[in-house]
Amino acid sequence: MPSSQSLKESPLEEMVAIAQQGDQIIQNELLKCYQPFIAKCVSEVCKRYIDPRTDDEFSIGLNAFNEAVMSYSPEKGSSFLTFSRLVVKRKVIDYIRYVQKTPVAISLDGRYDEEQMENPVEIQAVKESYREEQNVLLLREEIIDFKEKLRSYKLSLVQLTEVSPKHKDARETAIAVARTLYNDIDLRHFVQKKKKLPLKNLAKLVNVSKKTLERNRKFILAIFIILDEDYTYLKEYLKGVG
């Protein structure tokens, strides 16, 4: 059985791949070794110290980390830690939203204390403020992951601002092309593997010239990445891009 030290010295993505092949020893060691990382992710969401022994949120984070281990794919472009951080934080936020069915306030240590407040307007304001903080947190994590995936395609956010179509019709057309690309299983797998557009085959499916596809290549790939990932907030933003 590998020690935590030897595990840390091994390539993380390699250990994850072994766990995915059914090695429960490696899987359990990953869960044990990365408990501090999980606790840190959960703490950033809850804004307080997380005790792995007593806090339910840590259990949610641990299960989410295990889910990340079993579902991670290096072909998507992000590192495992970036991917797992996003999964853990999203699951913990979903859990908090589920269990907090009544409006509550947040005390100085980050915990909820509904007895501190009686004014319904004030309670609602605090609730909305906390929800907004969660939304900003997840959006930031999605952007971090998105930037890493862009790098795997040799793209960057700076490039996207420079090459994004300026006219609404052109943007809408490029987004429609990206959706067609994503919805075709064979072309989707091609892009995931090769990190480039299948210009010849794609041109057969859309009413757009190869020259136009090439000109908007970077923007189409960026939209494809968003469609290909579980980006709750970036997909919402995408609805208003046109």
What is the structure's pLDDT at 63?
94
- The pTM score is 0.62
Q: What is the pLDDT of residue 110?
A: 45
Residue with tokens 């995936």: 149
Q: What value does the CA radius of gyration of the chain take, rounded to a whole number of Å? A: 21
Q: What is the pLDDT of residue 129?
A: 63
- Judged against a pLDDT cut of 80, whether residue 149 lies above it is answered with yes
Give the tens place of pLDDT for each residue, 64-123: 999 999 999 888 777 899 899 989 998 998 888 777 654 444 443 444 444 444 555 555
Residue 77: phi and psi, rounded to 5, are 110, -20
pLDDT at 215 over 90: yes
Q: CA 136, CA 141: separation in Å to the nearest integer?
A: 9
**Domain extents in the chain:** 34-152, 157-238
How far apart are the C-alpha atoms of 215 and 212, rounded to whole Å?
Answer: 5
pLDDT number for residue 107 = 45
Q: Residue 181 corresponds to which tokens in the numbers above?
A: 């690309």
Confidence of residue 1 (pLDDT cuts 50, 70, 90): very low
pLDDT in tens, 164-180: 888 889 999 999 999 99
48 is written with which tokens?
């307080």
